[in-house]
């Protein structure tokens, strides 16, 4: 029987982009219930709110997905906020989980925790071999500290705390706000709006030479839930697709899929961010059998279609 069967599970961030897919994936494990705290009622930066959450939900399992996050621009504008809020949420939630005797605690970290010049593909053992890329280091370091906390709590208190490292996510229900979104939703919105307005070009950040790996959100949710059920070890685990693409090639692929014929004008005064990102996903496959099932092209087609139907038709 599944370790999640009949359990009361709290999913922080469960109403968000990744969280809604995790909650859907949890249903087939037949938990007693899945409780999604909303920030208006349960502010995870506030200790009293966290204690109220435990009193109300009485969880056996915590899946901590809530984060304050954005793209390169948002990270540059909010380094202090991103460090403090991500750190304080995780630190207090894990401590209260320990005090309440939680059976299992699963947290989603970030690929931004890796050193700027990590050899590609990123192996989990390289996590401590340098400082993260500067534009998102405060966010990455805050999340990195929570891995240390999880391992320390396991060592001292025997707490079953697990850390996962999802690569850049994309898919339906993503954040398409150009001021805070990541690269795929930002490009989809720019390209579709340019096409609708019959513009001759779009502007893209940086040089396009940086590379990234992307994981479709339903695949990420599947990986998190499988790990929640089957993985009980201290070592952090990458969740990715294992496929690397340059931002330039990604941009032209999105233009192709959106049928935009205009020019792409690159703005080299804007930062590229980390030079390369591609994960070694061996540990996830070996430890709990996770392999991503959605190709980048298929995932982009679904995401573009969702944006056209859900956002553009309503605007």
118 vs 226 pLDDT, higher one:
226
Tokens at 233, concatenated? 């070890």
Burial class of 127 by CB neighbour count within 10 A (0 to 12, 13 to 18, 19+): buried
Residue 105: CB atoms within 10 Å = 24
Distance of alpha carbon 199 from alpha carbon 294, whole angstroms:
32
222 vs 270 pLDDT, higher one:
222
Dihedrals φ, ψ of 121, to 5°? -80, 150
State the pLDDT at residue 275: 83
State the pLDDT at residue 315: 58
How far, CA to CA in Å, does 189 sit from each of 89, 171, 251, 257, 314?
Answer: 31, 13, 12, 13, 14
E-strand ranges in the chain read 8-12, 33-35, 61-64, 104-108, 161-166, 168-170, 201-205, 211-216, 237-239, 244-246, 263-267
> Across residues 208-228, what is the average pLDDT?
97
> Across residues 201-226, what is the average pLDDT?
95
Tokens at 258, concatenated? 């959106």
Asked whether the predicted pLDDT for residue 75 surpasses 90, the reply is no
CATH topology classification for 8-171+214-242+277-293: Rossmann fold (3.40.50)
State the pLDDT at residue 72: 72
* 263-312 confidence digits (pLDDT tens): 999 999 988 877 888 999 999 999 999 999 999 999 999 999 999 998 77
Distance of alpha carbon 167 from alpha carbon 110, whole angstroms:
7
Q: Mean pLDDT across the chain, nearest whole number?
A: 94
Point out the residues that are catalytic: 139
> Across residues 89-109, what is the average pLDDT?
98
Tokens at 251, concatenated? 């941009």
pTM, to two decimals? 0.93
Asked whether the predicted pLDDT for residue 73 surpasses 80, the reply is no
Asked whether the predicted pLDDT for residue 194 surpasses 80, the reply is yes
Q: Which of 27-41, 59-73, 132-146 is predicted with the least confidence, judged by mean pLDDT?
A: 59-73
Residue-level length of the chain: 315
* 171-181 confidence digits (pLDDT tens): 999 989 887 78
DSSP 64: E
> Across residues 82-90, what is the average pLDDT?
97
């Amino acid at each position: 029987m599944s370790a999640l069967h009949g359990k009361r599970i709290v999913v922080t961030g469960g109403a968000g982009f990744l969280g809604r897919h995790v909650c859907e994936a949890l249903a087939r494990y037949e938990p007693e219930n899945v409780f999604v705290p909303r920030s208006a009622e349960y502010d995870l930066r506030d200790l009293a709110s966290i204690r109220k959450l435990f009193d109300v939900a009485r969880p056996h399992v915590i899946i901590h997905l809530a984060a304050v996050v954005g793209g390169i621009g948002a990270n540059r504008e909010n380094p202090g906020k991103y460090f403090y809020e991500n750190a304080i949420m995780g630190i207090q939630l894990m401590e209260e989980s320990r005090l309440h005797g939680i059976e299992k605690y699963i947290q989603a970290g970030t690929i931004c925790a890796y050193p700027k010049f990590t050899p590609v593909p990123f192996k989990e053992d390289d996590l401590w071999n340098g400082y993260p890329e500067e534009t998102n280091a405060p966010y990455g370091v805050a999340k990195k500290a929570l891995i240390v906390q999880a391992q320390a709590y396991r060592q001292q208190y025997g707490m079953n705390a697990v850390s996962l490292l999802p690569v850049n996510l994309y898919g339906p229900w993503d954040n398409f706000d150009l001021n805070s979104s990541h690269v795929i939703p930002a490009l989809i919105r720019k390209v579709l709006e340019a096409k609708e307005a019959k513009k001759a070009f779009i502007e893209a950040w940086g040089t396009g030479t940086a590379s990234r790996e992307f994981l479709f959100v339903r695949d990420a949710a599947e990986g998190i839930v499988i790990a929640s059920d089957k993985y009980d070890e201290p070592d952090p685990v990458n969740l990715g697709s294992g496929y690397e693409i340059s931002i330039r090639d990604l941009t032209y692929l999105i233009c192709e899929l959106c049928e935009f014929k205009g020019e792409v004008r690159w703005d080299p005064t804007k930062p590229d961010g980390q030079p390369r990102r591609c994960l070694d996903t061996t540990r996830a496959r070996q430890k709990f059998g996770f392999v991503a099932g959605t190709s980048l092209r298929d995932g982009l087609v679904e995401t573009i279609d969702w944006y056209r139907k859900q956002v553009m038709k309503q605007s």
